[in-house]
């Protein structure tokens, strides 16, 4: 790419996962955003990030002595942020809220500008308190600060922008500010809407209907989210109730889903929305220097001993697990890694469905599993899933481990040091699944349902395994699907994964090489950014 003539992009996101010590992310969305900014830096691309400076970030989720997950929050202070000297004001509930703008470039990322309401000028300083915390009104206030405040911050910082990238619907209110600016310089509402669409691109993330946030229109009005526009105009964007994803689709010139299968799902999901932008697929990618162990890359590239290096990294993970939990795993036995948000469709406990099958394998230690993952703080069903995993840890103390408080650090350790990376969502509800990419590039073999990114990468039995044959919710009712996938998981695990691991090490190492070879560029942030520029940002 010729970087001098590239459009200048402002990337808006509610969360950023840039470093384990910077508590500004909850999960995959934030990790993707952090990697986007790091990739942009590596490639010297004209792109800045806009986000919020969270006081507490997301929950620290720990396990109590009864095996129950509970949430704790701490106030964090950071010394790695620069004060830009810029403040902007947004109106929330008819009160002026001042947002201080910080700049962060500490983690090998392009500039990230973070808005902060926790300053003495504000009576209401709770807005940037907890990432995804509390309820509807707070969320709307956060979205006003991110979207409307974000555009105002770019103006006050004097950063010229050609393309506004709304990463997820959280940022959709930014469009009200872009429209308002144009109306103030004399354009009609319709003209301003059209012109705004021309400069906005939008990424949709979740195939779970409830994950696509919506708000009562009257609540938006009360909070001040109309930003001078009328009720009828707002409803034309987001419908009634006002859906943030629908608004994103109607306020952009182009939209994308985060894997090819996800683009099919998203197009189906939003089929009936009139006046929406086209949804293409741009599969996520990861920032290799963040996620891939240099020893593994070296061994692979220089024909070194890949297995020996894998064992070194695996032993580091085993040491980390011992430190955290006291459990002692065996480096000579198969280690399955699994970490996902604890939500029912991810089926974290699927492997325990038939204990008569899995129990002997766990007791003999031939199968060891390390789990991690948080439940959403308000999700009791998710917390019950965590409790079940913890019960299994107590029952099989030498072969099942649950690591509390999943974060980037745990994510890094698990996707390097496991032998296989298991993923068994109900297809097609996993949008992308970047943890599998991290694993693949570390030579950790994916063993996964054909969902998210995996159908694009999987060469079954060559660079990893698929199970479940690509069946999904459209083919079978949930109960039948779960039954089918459980059987498929056991078949694959026992007859293919374990057989190869314990009886054909040479083939295993061949598969590791194949995994690294077939994913390292295809699922890198470089490839992803190339596509964002060529298919979304450049007109
Ligand atoms: C990579 C990563 C994710 C995203 O992975 P998924 O495959 O989408 O679950 C989430 N959280 C952390 C801490 C990660 O490192």
Assign residue 516 the CATH number of its domain: 3.40.50.2000
**Atom 1 (ligand 1) nearest CA:** 435
Query: 3-state class of 458 per DSSP?
Result: coil
Pocket probe for ligand 1: among 411, 452, 457, the residue whose CB has the most ligand atoms within 8 Å is 411
Residue 165 lies in a domain: yes
pLDDT digits (tens, 9 = 90+) for 389-412: 999 999 999 999 999 999 999 999
Q: Are residues 261 and 324 in the same domain?
A: no
- Nearest 5°: phi and psi at 215? -130, 150
Query: 3-state class of 8 per DSSP?
Result: coil
pLDDT digits (tens, 9 = 90+) for 409-448: 999 999 999 999 999 999 999 999 999 999 999 999 999 9
Cα–Cα dist 430/381, whole Å: 18
pLDDT digits (tens, 9 = 90+) for 53-85: 999 999 999 999 999 999 999 999 999 999 999
Expressed in angstroms and rounded, the spacing between residue 434 Cα and the centre of ligand 1 is 6
Expressed in angstroms and rounded, the spacing between residue 436 Cα and the centre of ligand 1 is 9
Q: Which two tokens stand for residue 298?
A: 């070296």
Task: State yes or no: pLDDT of 124 exceeds 90.
Answer: no
DSSP element (H, E) containing 306: helix 306-325
Q: Which two tokens stand for residue 268?
A: 């189906």
Q: Are residues 463 and 322 in the same domain?
A: yes
| Residue entry with tokens 């069946």 | 471
| Residue entry with tokens 């301003």 | 192
- In sequence order, the 6+-apart residues with CB closer than 8 A to the CB of 503 are none
Residue 512 lies in a domain: yes
- In sequence order, the 6+-apart residues with CB closer than 8 A to the CB of 430 are 207, 345, 346, 423, 449, 451, 452
pLDDT digits (tens, 9 = 90+) for 135-177: 789 999 999 999 999 999 999 999 999 999 999 999 999 999 9
Ligand 1 pocket member 31 (CB < 6 A): yes
Nearest C-alpha neighbor of 441 from the set 258, 342, 313, 259: 313
Q: Are residues 516 and 531 in the same domain?
A: no
Give the pLDDT confidence score for residue 211 in this predicted structure: 83
Task: State yes or no: pLDDT of 250 exceeds 90.
Answer: yes
Residue 164 lies in a domain: yes
| Residue entry with tokens 């039995």 | 461
Tell me how many degrees the CA angle 375-377-378 measures, rounded to the nearest 5.
105
Expressed in angstroms and rounded, the spacing between residue 441 Cα and the centre of ligand 1 is 15
Give the pLDDT confidence score for residue 27 in this predicted structure: 95
Ligand 1 pocket member 451 (CB < 6 A): no
Q: What is the DSSP secondary-structure string of 209-236?
A: GGGS-EE-HHHHHHHTTTTT--HHHHHH
Expressed in angstroms and rounded, the spacing between residue 280 Cα and the centre of ligand 1 is 23
DSSP element (H, E) containing 183: helix 174-184
Pocket probe for ligand 1: among 15, 16, 17, 376, the residue whose CB has the most ligand atoms within 8 Å is 17
Q: Are residues 349 and 262 in the same domain?
A: no
Q: Are residues 30 and 95 in the same domain?
A: yes
Residue 11 lies in a domain: yes
Q: Are residues 233 and 365 in the same domain?
A: no
Cα–Cα dist 457/421, whole Å: 14
Nearest C-alpha neighbor of 491 from the set 460, 451, 458, 459: 460
Q: Pick the atom of ligand 1 nearest to 432's CA.
A: 8
Cα–Cα dist 153/361, whole Å: 57
Residue 1 lies in a domain: no
Nearest C-alpha neighbor of 435 from the set 346, 320, 532: 346
Expressed in angstroms and rounded, the spacing between residue 407 Cα and the centre of ligand 1 is 8
Expressed in angstroms and rounded, the spacing between residue 34 Cα and the centre of ligand 1 is 12
- Nearest 5°: phi and psi at 56? -110, -15
Average pLDDT over residues 102-108: 98
Q: Are residues 48 and 154 in the same domain?
A: yes
Task: State yes or no: pLDDT of 125 exceeds 90.
Answer: no
Ligand 1 pocket member 327 (CB < 6 A): no
In the chain, count of helices (H) and strands (E)?
A: 21, 19
Domain holding 266, by residue range, is: 6-285+527-537
Q: Tell me: cis bond preceding 233? Omega within 30 of 0 counts.
A: no
Q: How many CB atoms lie within 10 A of CB 183?
A: 15
Q: Pick the atom of ligand 1 nearest to 411's CA.
A: 15
Q: What is the DSSP secondary-structure string of 23-42?
A: ----SHHHHHHHHHHHHHHH
Cα–Cα dist 500/396, whole Å: 24
Ligand 1 pocket member 340 (CB < 6 A): yes
Q: Which two tokens stand for residue 117?
A: 């309401």
Q: Are residues 169 and 22 in the same domain?
A: yes
The number of folded domains in the chain is 2
Pocket probe for ligand 1: among 434, 449, 454, 523, the residue whose CB has the most ligand atoms within 8 Å is 434
Pocket probe for ligand 1: among 16, 24, 28, 284, the residue whose CB has the most ligand atoms within 8 Å is 28
Pocket probe for ligand 1: among 19, 31, 59, 438, the residue whose CB has the most ligand atoms within 8 Å is 31
pTM: 0.97
Q: Are 364 and 405 in contact (CB under 8 A)?
A: no
Expressed in angstroms and rounded, the spacing between residue 517 Cα and the centre of ligand 1 is 22
Task: State yes or no: pLDDT of 243 exceeds 90.
Answer: yes
Sign of the Cα pseudo-torsion (127, 132, 138, 144, in order): positive
Segment 518-521 long-range contacts (CB within 8 Å, at least 24 positions apart): 518/440, 518/457, 518/459, 518/463, 519/437, 519/440, 519/441, 519/457, 519/463, 520/288, 520/292, 520/441
Q: Are residues 132 and 273 in the same domain?
A: yes
Give the pLDDT confidence score for residue 123 in this predicted structure: 81
- Nearest 5°: phi and psi at 286? -120, 160
Q: Are 33 and 15 in contact (CB under 8 A)?
A: yes
Ligand 1 pocket member 406 (CB < 6 A): yes
Cα–Cα dist 111/447, whole Å: 37
Residue 52 lies in a domain: yes
Q: How many CB atoms lie within 10 A of CB 209?
A: 9
Least confident of 193-197, 207-211, 216-220, 520-524: 207-211
Judging by DSSP bridges, how do beta strands 60-63 and 69-72 pair with one another?
antiparallel
Q: Pick the atom of ligand 1 nearest to 28's CA.
A: 4
- Nearest 5°: phi and psi at 104? -130, 120
Give the pLDDT confidence score for residue 465 in this predicted structure: 98
Cα–Cα dist 310/416, whole Å: 8
% of the chain beyond a pLDDT of 90: 94
Q: Any idea what DSSP says for residue 130?
A: B
Q: Are residues 313 and 228 in the same domain?
A: no
Task: State yes or no: pLDDT of 1 exceeds 80.
Answer: no
Average pLDDT over residues 293-297: 98
Expressed in angstroms and rounded, the spacing between residue 340 Cα and the centre of ligand 1 is 7
Residue 24 lies in a domain: yes
pLDDT digits (tens, 9 = 90+) for 466-490: 999 999 998 999 999 999 999 999 9
Q: Are residues 317 and 332 in the same domain?
A: yes
- Show the beta-strand stretches assigned E in 168-272: 200-203, 214-215, 242-243, 254-257
Cα–Cα dist 18/33, whole Å: 8
**Atom 11 (ligand 1) nearest CA:** 27
Expressed in angstroms and rounded, the spacing between residue 422 Cα and the centre of ligand 1 is 13
Residue 177 lies in a domain: yes
| Residue entry with tokens 């006050």 | 156
Q: Which two tokens stand for residue 326?
A: 């006291």
Q: Are residues 217 and 328 in the same domain?
A: no
Q: Any idea what DSSP says for residue 399?
A: T
Cα–Cα dist 361/164, whole Å: 52
């Amino acid at each position: 790419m010729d970087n001098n003539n590239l459009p200048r992009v402002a990337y808006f996101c509610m969360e950023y996962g840039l470093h384990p010590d910077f508590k500004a992310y909850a999960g995959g969305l934030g990790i993707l955003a952090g990697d986007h900014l790091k990739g942009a830096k590596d490639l010297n691309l004209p792109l800045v990030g806009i986000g919020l400076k969270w006081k507490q970030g997301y929950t620290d989720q720990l396990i109590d002595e009864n095996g129950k997950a509970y949430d704790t929050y701490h106030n964090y202070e950071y010394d790695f942020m620069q004060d830009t000297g810029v403040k902007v004001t947004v109106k929330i509930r008819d009160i002026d809220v001042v947002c201080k703008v910080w700049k962060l470039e500490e983690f090998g990322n392009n500039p990230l500008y973070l808005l902060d309401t926790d300053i003495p000028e504000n009576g209401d300083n709770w807005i940037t308190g907890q990432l995804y915390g509390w309820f509807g009104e707070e969320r709307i206030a956060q979205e006003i600060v991110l979207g409307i405040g974000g555009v105002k911050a770019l103006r006050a910082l004097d950063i010229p922008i050609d393309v506004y990238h709304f990463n997820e619907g959280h940022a959709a209110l930014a469009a009200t500010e872009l429209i308002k600016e144009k109306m103030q310089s004399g354009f009609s509402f319709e003209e301003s809407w059209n012109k705004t669409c021309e400069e906005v691109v939008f990424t949709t993330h979740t195939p779970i209907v409830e994950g696509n946030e919506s708000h009562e229109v009257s609540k938006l009005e009360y909070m001040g989210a109309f930003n001078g526009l009328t009720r009828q105009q707002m409803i034309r964007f987001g419908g009634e109730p006002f859906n943030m994803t629908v608004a994103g689709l109607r306020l952009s010139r182009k939209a994308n889903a985060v894997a090819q299968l996800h683009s099919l799902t998203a197009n189906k999901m939003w089929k009936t929305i009139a006046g929406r932008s086209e949804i293409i697929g741009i599969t996520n990618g990861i920032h290799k220097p963040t996620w891939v162990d240099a020893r593994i890359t070296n061994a692979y590239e220089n024909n070194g001993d890949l297995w020996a290096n894998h064992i070194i990294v695996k032993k580091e993970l085993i040491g980390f697990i011992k430190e955290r939990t006291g459990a002692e795993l065996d480096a000579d036995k198969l280690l399955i890694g699994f970490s996902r948000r604890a939500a029912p469709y991810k089926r974290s406990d699927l492997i325990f469905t038939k204990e008569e099958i899995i129990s002997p394998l766990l007791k003999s230690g031939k199968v060891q599993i390390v789990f991690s993952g948080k439940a959403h703080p308000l999700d009791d069903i998710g917390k019950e899933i965590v409790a079940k995993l913890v019960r299994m840890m107590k029952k099989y103390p030498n072969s099942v481990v649950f690591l509390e408080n999943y974060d980037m650090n745990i994510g890094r350790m698990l996707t390097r040091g496991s032998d296989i990376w298991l993923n068994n969502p109900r297809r097609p509800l996993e949008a992308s699944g970047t943890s599998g990419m991290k694993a693949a590039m570390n030579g950790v073999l994916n063993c996964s349902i054909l969902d998210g990114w995996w159908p694009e990468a999987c060469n079954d039995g060559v660079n990893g395994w698929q199970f479940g044959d690509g069946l999904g919710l459209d083919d079978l009712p949930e109960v039948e699907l779960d039954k089918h996938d459980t059987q498929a998981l056991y078949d694959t695990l026992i007859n293919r994964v374990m057989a190869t691991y314990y009886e054909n090490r040479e083939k295993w190492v061949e598969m590791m090489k194949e995994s690294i070879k077939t994913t390292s560029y295809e699922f890198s942030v470089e490839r992803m950014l190339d596509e964002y520029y060529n298919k979304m940002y450049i007109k």
